[in-house]
Structure 1
Amino acid sequence: MISQTNNLKQLPQVAVVMVPLPAQGHLNQLLHLSHLITSYGIPVHYAGSTTHNRQAKLRLHGWDSQSLAKIHFHDFQLPPYHSPPPSIDTSVPFPNHLTALFQASSTHLREPVSQLLHQLSQNFSRVVVIHDIIMAYVIQDVKLIPNAKVFTFVPTSAFTMFADTWESIPEEVKPFQLDSKDIPENIPTGEGCATKEMVEFAINQVQCLGFESGWIYNTSRAIDGRYVTLLEKLSSTKSRIKHFALGPFHPVHIKNENGENRHQCLKWLDEQEKGSVIYVSFGSTTSLTDDQIEELANGLETSKVKFIWVLRSADRTNIFEEADKFRKAQLPEGYEDRVRDRGMVVRDWAPQLEILAHPSTGGFMSHCGWNSCMESLSMGVPIAAWPMHSDQPRNAALLSEVLRVGILVRDWAHRGEIVKSSTIENVVKTLMASEEGKEMMKRAAELGESVRGSVAEGGVCCLERDSFIAHMSE
């Protein structure tokens, strides 16, 4: 403990405050991490807008309601901000309609979060803040609290984080040499991954860093431990920041239980053969054009492979607004009747963890958001990688080029083009019904076993979590 006063010595030791970015993949990861930390008997305070705290709780899977009740949610109101509908412009795949939300959250959450931190600092001998890397502005006032400690959460793979960082260092001042296999030669560039407005926002946030005690990753050393080590090596040349690979944050043992509230797609999966179904979902920030939906529909149909397809538009800034105000994705006429015997289209929020953990699921066509990657890899499910924006192209490279547990649907260089049904058909068949696919399935299954073993008692991740809890409590 920093303070040696009798008063602080008598206080409860540690409280943790989570500050997530208000986008589903970010909200979800830090809510899962909140559950892990409460399992150590440490209170967690989850700070966000009223709307997005509600969203995070509504969509959480893998934990029971009693676990959720252990977390203290602090609901803060945001002032009105510009909230356009999600774009379906293929030339700008990044969900730029969320940028105004991010800016409003960054600006207006600073004061209430600061008040929360000062209040907790009076009641606990140590306050630990864990914030999303692009919500750094919100927690600036923690520097004024002597018994507070800060950790930065990196919501992507260590591979992507290292590749981005390494690329930003001029060649003449790179501190060490890489092995030729560390970063694939054909790794996608950052071009087209985000809009100018989002890049500027992220840069401004990262410039607020510099006083954190460590960086936290939702990854496993079984997946990209090489890149955690490289990040540690890079940090050792300029700072003493510690790097913690604490993932997967989500539960890795999902019970396939019957119940009246069980989603219909899980009941459908119960009736299918082991490993026979490909799960198709592109996350919460992607809207496909009508032309692309038609090509995907036809490709899945002609592949003759069983599928569950989550067909949704991207999240609005407020998911609780009336849905009928916004565009709904349309399928070809009569499509669902034609594929009824071997396919299911889901238009609501799907229980992804349970789907990936189900023995009938043999593959995942994904946008490669890091949440989805971690869930799929921990369940031993190979991926047909179809990146859309942000960190996804480089996550896809990790899957296909480094781990070799995935196959690309579309090369990032052709991101503005419609992917034809014939390409989709071939990719699905390759992943689900070829010798090459069998090898990917085998590697994915082995990797899944390693990841699940790492979080078991005595496993490398379990020990790293223990180490992190000890370090943050010092």
Structure 2
Amino acid sequence: MDSSKLHVAILSSPGMGHLIPVLVLGNRLATHHNIKITILAITTSSSLTETQFLKKSHEKETIEIIPIPSVDISHLIDSSTKLFTRFRILVREALPEIRSVIASMTHRPNALIVDIFCTQILPIAEEFNIPKYAYHPTTSWTLALFIYCQVFDKEIEGEYVDLKEPLKIPGCKALRPEDVVDPMLDRRNQQYEEYVKLGVEYTHFDGVLINTWEDLEPETIKALRNNDKLRSVLKVPDYPIYPIGPLRRTVEIAERDEVIQWLDKQNLESVVFVSFGSGGTLSSQQMTELAWGLELSQQKFVWVVRPPSDGDADSAYLNSGGNDTRTALEYLPEGFITRTKDMGLVVPMWAKQVEILSHSSVGGFLSHCGWNSTIESLTNGVPMIAWPLHAEQRMNATMLAEELGVAIRPAVLPTKKVVWREEIQGMMRILMQTKEGKCIREKAKKLKMSAKNALSEGGSSYNSICGLVKNICTR
């Protein structure tokens, strides 16, 4: 079949962190491989940013977006229900609507690609006999853990965090107990059960796309393809692995807002961008310490500030962007904005992250290590201060600091204890002023080139996407 006649539907779970990689993937397949793309986006009614983003994306003619209305799940959850579980329930409740949308399509998709929380689509894909692929929009290391967790679940007793030895994923870097993903922190919680189920569902797909590239994670990708013990959990023979990254948003040439204009006036690679993603929040105490650390460091900074939360670190995820931009700055130490007015810029709630990270005056990124943000940093050659908050971010931070050498991190995980101002000041100075920081920056720039090569025609990720398209065409 000619790829120009292909129709691929991509299903996105709620939240900006999931919607962005799906839209980027859709745009890539549409513009580089001439495929008709329909995105089914499960929406939430609470996120203004998400609504605006969908509306803007609708204006692009390369893809069709069908919003799947938000389902009221208030009767199925309570205040203690973890975010991972909420996502799974939201998707589960949206399945009847997703099924009816697919059933009503005049040109039935030749393939269905689903993101990380939408793997519960399996019965629908099988009912309509549509080839199905999972899209894992983060690292191959987290994918290996996802699919192998079903083995750990049977073989390991007690809590993973209490283990004295690292978890051994066949063919991959071992995983320290303190770095396990959030759903593995408490095996009695519903999110753990949902996590294990999701890993099992992954193994029933016709292949998996990963937002990484060969040179970034060679050993793990090799293990996913060739390690008999790791592949023994896969239910599909010859289960293909497609590293197709690093896919990220492109810089939009638009009006130069206040932040970009401020950056224009700064020296080359002199500014640290500080942001915790579309849903990450800090405690009140940690926010105060971070403010003091930035001020004491005397380094230039742009800080995206949102109100603190003394609950879960992911509490803002489904309400990113919010409606309240007034209160964010009120939580900063008294006089902070006045004292740092010549040194830094504080931006309430949201900023153009891709444009900021691609600006020549940005030389560092203090980040929560969400994979979208990490990719946006690496593809611009910007080194990082790793500050993981939730989900798989501890694994990402470990990989960035220990394997790739493009980040420094606090001595103790920020999820375990407060990172004090003195340590923050020290990390800022190490990254921006020392030989160690220079070495980290050079490694980040090499990865930028590696990423560019992977996506160029004939590069590993370009060839991987071609392989996926060929696989769909021949089914």
Question: Aligned to 2:221, what secondary structure does the other structure show?
Answer: helix
Give the direction of change, closer, same or farther, for the CA distance of 1:66–1:99 in structure 2 (3 Å limit): closer
Residues 35-184 of structure 1: matches in 2 within 5 Å? 35-39=27-31, 40-51=33-44, 55-56=49-50, 58-59=52-53, 68-82=60-74, 98-99=83-84, 101-120=86-105, 122-124=106-108, 126-146=109-129, 148-163=130-145, 165=147, 169=151, 178=171, 182-183=172-173
Aligned partners of 2:73, 2:327: CA distance in 1, in Å? 18
The answer to whether the 8 A contact 1:188-1:394 is kept is: no
Deviations 1:245-286 (A, max 9, x none): 11111256x47x5x5x33311111111111111111111222
C-alpha deviation, 1:108, in angstroms? 2.4
| In the alignment, structure 1 residue 402 sits paired with structure 2 residue 403 | yes
* 1:5 alignment counterpart: none
For 1:291 and 1:228, how far apart are their aligned partners in 2?
Answer: 40
- Which has the larger displacement, 284-293 or 358-367? 284-293
Q: Per-residue deviation at 1:54?
A: 7.4
Q: Which amino acid aligns with 1:291?
A: Q
Amino acid of the structure 1 residue aligned with 2:107: N
In the other structure, the counterpart of 1:211 is 204
SS of corresponding position for 2:118: helix
Q: Which moved more, 1:333-342 or 1:191-200?
A: 191-200
What is the number of residues matched between the two proteins?
A: 445
Work out the CA distance in 1 between the residues paired with 2:218 and 2:104. 38
**Does residue 1:190 correspond to 2:180, yes or no?**
yes
Q: CA deviation at 1:365?
A: 0.7
**1:431 and 2:435 correspond:** no
The SS at the match of 1:461 is: helix
Aligned residue number for residue 363 of structure 2:
362
Q: Secondary structure at the match of 1:244?
A: strand
Deviations 1:336-391 (A, max 9, x none): 11111110111132111111111111111111111111111111111111111111
Contact 2:278 2:320 in 1 (8 A): no
What whole-Å deviation, never above 9, does each CA across 1:104-151 have from its counterpart, x for those lacking one? 42222211211222333x524x521111232211342110123x1100
Taking only the aligned residue pairs, the percentage that are identical comes to 26
Q: CA deviation at 1:400?
A: 0.7
**2 CA distance for matches of 1:163 and 1:451?**
24
CA contact (8 A) 2:181 2:393 kept: no
- Return closer, same or farther for 1:357/1:322 CA change in 2, 3 Å cut-off: closer
State yes or no: 1:20 paired with 2:12. Answer: yes
Aligned equivalent of 2:22: 30
CA distance in 1, matches of 2:146, 2:65: 33
Q: Do 1:83 and 1:317's aligned partners in 2 also have CA atoms closer than 8 Å? A: no
Contact 2:147-2:199 at 8 Å conserved across structures: no
How far, CA to CA, are the matches of 1:297 and 1:176 in structure 2? 39
CA RMSD between the two structures: 3.5
Alignment partner of 1:200 is 2:193 = yes
TM-score (norm 2): 0.83
The CA deviation at 1:163 is: 4.6
Amino acid at match of 2:332: L
Partner of 2:347: 346
| Aligned partner of residue 279 in structure 1, secondary structure | strand
Q: Which residue of 1 aligns with 2:243?
A: 245
TM-score (norm 1): 0.83
Cα distance, 1:288 vs structure 2: 1.0
State the secondary structure of the residue aligned to 1:221. Answer: coil
Would the alpha carbon gap of residues 108 and 167 (structure 1) be closer, same or farther in structure 2, given more than 3 Å must change? closer
**1:23-43 deviations in whole A, cap 9, x for unaligned?**
221111111101101112212
Are residues 100 and 431 of structure 1, via their aligned partners in 2, closer, same or farther at CA, if it must alter by over 3 Å?
same
Distance apart, 1:69 and its partner CA: 3.1
Higher relative contact order (CA 8 A, sep 6+): 1
CA distance in 2, matches of 1:66, 1:143: 29
Q: Residue 74 of structure 2: SS of its match in structure 1?
A: coil
Q: Who is 2:226 aligned against?
A: 233
SS in 2 for 1:183: coil
Structure 2 CA distance for partners of 1:164 and 1:140, relative to 1, 3 Å:
closer
Tell me, in whole angstroms, the C-alpha distance in 2 between the residues paired with 1:78 and 1:404.
41
The 3 A distance-change label for structure 1 pair 348 and 327 is: closer
Cα distance between partner residues in 2 of 1:175 and 1:300:
38
Q: Tell me the distance in 2 between the aligned counterparts of 1:12 and 1:277.
A: 44
CA 1:391–1:17: 2 relative to 1, 3 Å: same
Counterpart residue type for residue 142 of structure 2: T
- Aligned partners of 1:331, 1:274: CA distance in 2, in Å? 28
Amino acid at match of 1:162: A
Report Cα offsets for 1:398-435 as digits up to 9, x if no partner: 101111111112433x6331110001111111111111
Question: Residues 231 and 295 (structure 1 numbering): CA distance in 2 closer, same or farther, change over 3 Å?
Answer: same
Deviations 1:316-349 (A, max 9, x none): 6355764379887610111111111110111132
Query: Counterpart of 1:265?
Result: 259
Task: Give the aligned residue type for 2:244.
Answer: L
- In structure 2, relative to structure 1, the CA distance for the partners of 1:153 and 1:297 (3 Å cut) is same
The residue matched to 1:222 in structure 2 has which SS?
coil
Deviates more, 1:278-287 or 1:434-443: 278-287
Q: In structure 2, give the amino acid aligned to 1:58.
A: Q
Distance 1:164 1:77, change over 3 A: closer
Is the Cα contact below 8 Å between 1:134 and 1:202 reproduced in 2?
no
Cross-structure match for 1:317: 318
Given the superposition, is the C-alpha separation of residues 432 and 168 from structure 1 closer, same or farther in structure 2, using an over 3 Å criterion? farther
Establish whether residue 224 from structure 1 lines up as the match of residue 217 from structure 2.
yes
One-letter code of the match for 1:110? L
Residues 69/198 of structure 1: CA separation in 2 closer, same or farther (3 Å cut): farther
User: Offset at 1:468?
Assistant: 1.6
